[in-house]
Amino acid sequence: MNWPSLVRRNRIKNRARDEAPKRDWAAAFAVWRATARRASLKLLIVGSLAAGVWALDRPVRVISMDGTFQRVSPGQIEKAVAPFAKAGFMSADLDAIQRAVEAVPWVDHARVQRRWPNSLHVAVVEETAAARWGESGLLNTRGRLFVRETSHVPAELPRLAGPDGTEAQVAARYLAAQGRMLEAGMRIAALRLDARGAWEMDLDSGVTVRLGRRDVDARLDRFIRTASQVIAHRLADVNYVDMRYSNGFAIGWRGAPAPGSTPGAAPTPAKAAAAPAAAAAET
């Protein structure tokens, strides 16, 4: 056996075992130093940003706004914004300000922006009243009841009514029916949904059309195609048209001396009153 070679190999192995912990410690230290450097850089950046925000977060001096302001006053908007503006130019919560402004009566939606160096700008879009709801409520173009009680109701608005919570449903049916009625040369002045789910509409000519609870769209089609043609030249004499029959309709004449009934597609003027919704009529 070559003892000198064996001794040299043992020395190399022993040296490798002695240097391994040193290499592990050096690698761990390098990783720690890189991590500490990155953390320090992040803290420096965050600190710089915080210092910048603190330096820029000056008090809000100006609240500017634009909009039509027919129903909403600039003073109402300024009052809604003021509590949030105290937080400062940079720290003011724009989303919270927007919600506060949109809570003002007659505000449909708003947009809030920062304007350098110390102002907030609020753009306001007012609600558009598309219909009356009940006696003094107002619906917007999306069928949302945005005013429950108002002292000024535009007379030209259609009158919609129904149980609480049905505002969107009634508005949707009105919008769908009104377009078809206008194409036929008629206009809906009022639309009602009662507690039983029955529909009834008034035309601007003063004629009431009873549509009932079932097959409302089909009954409306039948009224436009058939019944409206029958009454077109005698609107002043017609009180109501009842479409709640399976194969026809009934006409109620104004000033009729006694009720009678003749369901069908073309009641004659000699029949003073057509069937009120009775046994022959469906719901």
Residue 191, domain member (yes or no): yes
pLDDT at 177 exceeding the cut of 90? yes
Nearest C-alpha neighbor of 275 from the set 230, 240, 232:
240
Whether residues 204 and 218 fall in one domain: yes
How much is the pLDDT for 280?
53
Whether residues 34 and 139 fall in one domain: no
Q: What is the pLDDT confidence band of residue 196, given thresholds at 50, 70 and 90?
A: very high
Whether residues 213 and 146 fall in one domain: yes
Whether residues 205 and 146 fall in one domain: yes
CB burial of residue 4 (10 Å; 0-12, 13-18, 19+) = exposed
* CATH number of residue 75's parent domain: 3.10.20.310
Coil, strand, or helix at residue 210? strand
Pairwise pLDDT comparison (37 vs 106), residue with the higher score: 106
How much is the pLDDT for 43?
61
Mean pLDDT of 181-196: 95
Whether residues 40 and 99 fall in one domain: no
* Single residue among 86, 107, 126 that ends a domain in this structure: 126
At 219-278, the pLDDT tens digits run 999 999 999 999 999 999 999 999 999 889 999 999 865 454 444 444 433 333 344 444
Residue 241, domain member (yes or no): yes
Q: How many domains does the chain have?
A: 3
Whether residues 37 and 138 fall in one domain: no
Q: Chain centroid to CA 277: how far? A: 38
Whether residues 23 and 1 fall in one domain: yes
How much is the pLDDT for 275?
43
How much is the pLDDT for 262?
45
Whether residues 51 and 117 fall in one domain: no
d(CA 191, CA 120): 44
Residue 1, domain member (yes or no): yes
The structure's pTM equals 0.67
Q: Which domain holds residue 96?
A: 62-126
Residue 151, domain member (yes or no): yes
Q: Which residues contact 124 (CB under 8 A, 6 or more apart)?
A: 65, 66, 67, 69, 72, 77, 101, 107, 110
* Single residue among 93, 126, 159 that ends a domain in this structure: 126
Residue 169, domain member (yes or no): yes
Whether residues 119 and 167 fall in one domain: no
* Single residue among 111, 126, 141 that ends a domain in this structure: 126
Residue 265, domain member (yes or no): no
At 57-80, the pLDDT tens digits run 678 888 999 998 999 999 999 999
Whether residues 90 and 47 fall in one domain: no
